[in-house]
Amino acid sequence: MVKDHAETDLDRELDDLPTELRWREWMRRIEAVLFASASPVPREDLARVVGQGASVDLLVEDLVADLEGRSFEVAQVAGGWMLRTRPAYAAVIRTAADVGDQDLDLREYDVAVLAAIAYHQPITRDGLKDIFGKEISRDLIGRLHARGLIVTGPRSPRRGAPYTYVTTEQFLVAFDLESLQDLPDREQMEDAGVINSQA
């Protein structure tokens, strides 16, 4: 109810402003929404704060250009946009702030299992065992789950209806992917030994 009231009070069209100022205000609104959000914001949500017919994509493009040379940027990940610090400043942030709990701290084998899940999802632990030739521990699955990179997917139709695992939006954000279609080519991953060519 409060949300509906706030939306009706918002002047989206800004007809009283000259065209250039209206566009700049819409850019600032998008920037404010991205700044306030801890997760990627989809196009539909951004469209609610700008005038009817205003192109969210063009507004974001102009915002990207406006932020050029700043320490943060607009990134398109997981089906939306978010503000984040530019990679060049990662060491500065680690030095000045306690961000240890944000570090994924994944072992090489964890990353290989995560890649197998990403490429074969939804997949069971037995499916992972077939890929790696050995049992995948519940602890490893738990580590990936605790970091928000995977969740349980639909139950497998196989006997016993085992759980399957799928990647999350956090997985896409952590690896800077817009969608699963942006995963590296399977052939490259096979050549790197990350996924099994037999799977």
Continuous H helices in 67-178: 90-96, 108-120, 125-132, 138-146, 169-174
Task: Classify residue 77: in a domain, yes or no.
Answer: yes
What domain range includes position 180? 104-192
Q: Is the N-terminal amide bond of 122 cis, ω within 30° of 0?
A: yes
Tens of pLDDT, residues 11-43: 888 888 888 888 999 999 999 999 988 889 999
Residue 117: per-residue pLDDT: 92
- Residue 32, class by beta-carbon neighbours within 10 Å (0-12 exposed, 13-18 middle, 19+ buried)? exposed
Residue 166: per-residue pLDDT: 94
Residues 65 and 114 grouped into a single domain: no
Tens of pLDDT, residues 152-180: 999 888 888 888 999 998 888 888 888 88
Domain end (from 89, 113, 134) = 89
Task: Classify residue 68: in a domain, yes or no.
Answer: yes
Tokens for 138, please give them.
Answer: 């519940």
Q: Which tops the pLDDT comparison, 125 or 103? A: 125
Choose from 1-10, 19-28, 92-101 the range with maximum mean pLDDT. Answer: 19-28
Task: Classify residue 115: in a domain, yes or no.
Answer: yes
Tokens for 132, please give them.
Answer: 């790696």
